[in-house]
Amino acid sequence: MFMRTRVGALSALALTGLALGATLATPAQAAPKAPGFLAAADLPPHPSSDWTAGKVTVGVGEAGLGVCAEAGVPARSSAWNREFRTELETGARQVTLVLRDTATAKSLVSQLNRDFKNCATRIEQADPETSATGKDFGKLSVEEGAHVYGLATETSFGALDVHLMSVGRDGRTVTVVNWGEMGRLGDAPVKAFKKTTVTAVNKLH
């Protein structure tokens, strides 16, 4: 699912965000135990395929904080990520960071919210061959809060992709969840993804 979008406009945005986060957590910096992560059963149900969860891995991974995220990873942070796959093109990913203090965590969440809100505009500016539409699906009442966004892209050669992104916080721990597949925004499981986001934040501690 994420393979195709990484080779286009979203690739440039994701790589920019990763470059800004030059101080990524390493195994030596990471806390001995990761926060709680989503399980495969917590993802929005797929109509024709079960979800498979990968291992929880130290660091933010190759894709950084995910689709649309330009925010860098603050210094003295610990990070983990987990990928989820189906037998088809649908996929998902969770990245969780433990920041050095609550103020840093709040700042990161604010930056990610800005990144998600203006993602569609940045994509169209970076690639005139891609049309992008973003949607704010609102805040969720869980711990210190979470927010859900949607993104749909269509290339000049007709490729359609849809993504749902969320960011939530519990104290100094921040989690980002990405879901995506080929399709349109109207087909995205927004209600189920909101439930997934609430579960992700509740599972942190």
pLDDT one-digit tens code per residue, 136-188: 999 999 999 999 999 999 999 989 999 999 999 999 999 999 999 999 999 99
Contact 196, 38 (CB under 8 A): yes
C-alpha closest to that of 197 among 128, 109, 122: 109
Predicted TM-score (pTM) of the model is: 0.86
Q: For residue range 78-104, list pLDDT tens digits in order.
A: 999 999 999 998 999 999 999 999 999
Residue with tokens 């996929």: 91
3-state DSSP: the chain helix, strand, coil percent, rounded to 5? 30, 30, 40
Start-to-end CA distance of the chain, whole Å, equals 29
Could you state, in order of their start, the residue ranges of all structural domains in the chain?
2-202
Compute the average pLDDT of residues 51-63.
Answer: 95
Q: What is the pLDDT of residue 15?
A: 43
Listed in order, strand segments (DSSP E) in 66-145 are: 78-85, 91-98, 130-140
Could you give the angle at the alpha carbon of 26 between the alpha carbons of 24 and 31, nearest 5°? 110
pLDDT at 25 over 90: no
According to DSSP, the β-strands at 57-58 and 52-53 are: unpaired
